[in-house]
């Protein structure tokens, strides 16, 4: 069996893969049986070129870089790793939230630049998480885990909007489900976006939604670029419509250094590092290899998109 792999995955996953298949980084090879990708696009043309292609393995949760319609048309299975990086992404959400609320980066920057003249500068006083409200847009594995951490560790009240999750499931994680963003956004101190990028979630947060938020609200996005309208977010942060925001994802990744959002003091950016921990890389790598090999051996996959 021949597997196309052109991106870094955990060394132990590669070792496991080599027990079952040969690896190539030549996507033009027509004998490819399987493809494993992280962020590399998999197009219809790429699928049609590989006449033996049976399965595409996505190393991660979001599979918007794969042409799912083409895979369906061509009878190619698509598998992914929906739970393998949840802990790492949840921890990043908490990290970004604490960073923004306590003004960690502005305080650090002033010290490095020699601009701090006193301990605990008055204009950089932060806020506690205790007793605040978090609003989740999307109630998948990452959001539910993040909610558990915030509720148990910081006594944060939780609200959530997700038309695909029942009120009962949300309640089992201590989350009060709302029927619309209009109902939720004015009530919360923090907003977290954890949705896949689809036609229905593109620009799910734009100026209309940003104006619904408290002026003191903080937005965190670790899902996908395109779910939050970047131009509208820049305007909102520049005009005190929203207090602050942090994003791990952008429309174009990594963002250029002259990206308008990067010029703002009330915005924090990271280069799509949500799943970038050794533990998550190990789980994702091992899982995607196991799923791909299962399909190639004619077995049912545990995490199958199609």
pLDDT, one tens digit per residue, over 127-170 is: 999 999 999 999 999 999 999 999 999 999 999 999 999 999 99
Q: What is the pLDDT of residue 141?
A: 95
Q: What is the pLDDT of residues 73-122, one digit of tens each?
A: 999 999 999 999 999 999 999 999 999 999 999 999 999 999 998 999 99
What CA–CA distance (Å, rounded) separates 48 from 64? 18
What pLDDT shows up at residue 137?
98
113, with CB counted inside 10 A (0-12, 13-18, 19+), is exposed
Is 224 catalytic? The answer is yes
272 is catalytic: yes
Fold annotation for 2-80+277-297 = Rossmann fold (3.40.50)
SS (H, E, C) the chain: CEEEECCCCCHHHHHHHHCCCEEECCCCCCCCCEEEECCCCECHHHHHHCCCCCEEEECCCCCCCECHHHHHHHCCEEECCCCCCHHHHHHHHHHHHHHHHCCHHHHHHHHHCCCCCCCCCHHHCCCCCCCCEEEEECCCHHHHHHHHHHHHHHCCEEEEECCCCCHHHHHHCCEEECCCHHHHHHHCCEEEECCCCCCCCCCCECHHHHCCCCCCCEEEECCCCCCECHHHHHHHHHCCCCCEEEECCCCCCCCCCCCHHHHCCCEEECCCCCCCCHHHHHHHHHHHHHHHHHHHCCCCCCCECC
> What pLDDT does 254 receive?
95
Which one is catalytic: 12, 128, 253, 279? Answer: 253
Provide the pLDDT for residue 117. 87
Residue 22 near residue 3 (C-beta atoms within 8 A): yes
* Superfamily in which the 85-269 domain is placed by CATH: NAD(P)-binding Rossmann-like Domain (3.40.50.720)
- 260-299 confidence digits (pLDDT tens): 999 999 999 999 999 999 999 999 999 999 999 999 999 9
pLDDT at position 4, please?
98
One of 10, 38, 224, 283 is an active-site residue; which one? 224
What is the model's pLDDT at position 59?
97
Catalytic residue among 59, 173, 272, 283: 272
The pLDDT value given to residue 269: 98
| CATH topology identical between 2-80+277-297 and 85-269 | yes
- pTM for this model (two decimals): 0.91
Locate the domains of the chain by residue range.
2-80+277-297, 85-269
């Amino acid at each position: 069996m021949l597997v196309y792999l052109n991106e870094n995955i955990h060394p132990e996953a590669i070792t496991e893969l080599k027990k079952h298949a040969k690896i190539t980084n030549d996507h033009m090879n027509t004998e490819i049986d399987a493809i494993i990708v992280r962020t590399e696009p998999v197009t219809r043309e790429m699928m049609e070129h590989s006449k033996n292609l049976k399965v595409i393995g996505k190393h991660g949760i979001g599979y918007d870089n794969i042409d799912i319609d083409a895979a369906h048309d061509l009878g190619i299975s698509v598998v992914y790793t929906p739970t393998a990086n949840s802990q790492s992404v949840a921890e990043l959400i908490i990290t970004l939230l604490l960073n923004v609320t306590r003004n960690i980066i502005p305080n650090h920057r002033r010290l490095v630049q020699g601009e701090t003249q006193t301990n605990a500068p008055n204009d950089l006083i932060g806020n506690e998480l205790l007793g605040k409200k978090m609003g989740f847009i999307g109630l998948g594995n990452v959001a539910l885990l993040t909610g558990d951490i915030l509720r148990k560790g910081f006594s944060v009240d939780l609200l959530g909007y997700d038309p695909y999750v029942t009120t009962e499931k949300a309640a089992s994680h201590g989350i009060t489900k709302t029927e619309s963003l209009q109902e939720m956004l004015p009530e919360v101190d923090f907003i977290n976006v954890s949705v896949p990028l689809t036609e229905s979630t593109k620009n799910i947060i734009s100026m209309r939604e940003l104006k619904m938020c408290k002026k003191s609200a903080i937005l965190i996005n670790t899902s996908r670029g395109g779910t939050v309208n970047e131009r509208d977010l820049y305007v909102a942060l520049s005009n005190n419509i929203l207090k602050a925001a942090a994003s791990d994802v952008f429309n174009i990744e990594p963002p250029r250094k002259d990206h308008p959002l990067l010029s703002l003091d009330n915005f924090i950016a990271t280069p799509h590092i949500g799943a970038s921990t050794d533990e998550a890389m190990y789980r994702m790598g091992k899982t995607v290899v196991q799923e791909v090999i299962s399909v190639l051996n004619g077995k049912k996959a545990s995490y199958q998109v199609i």
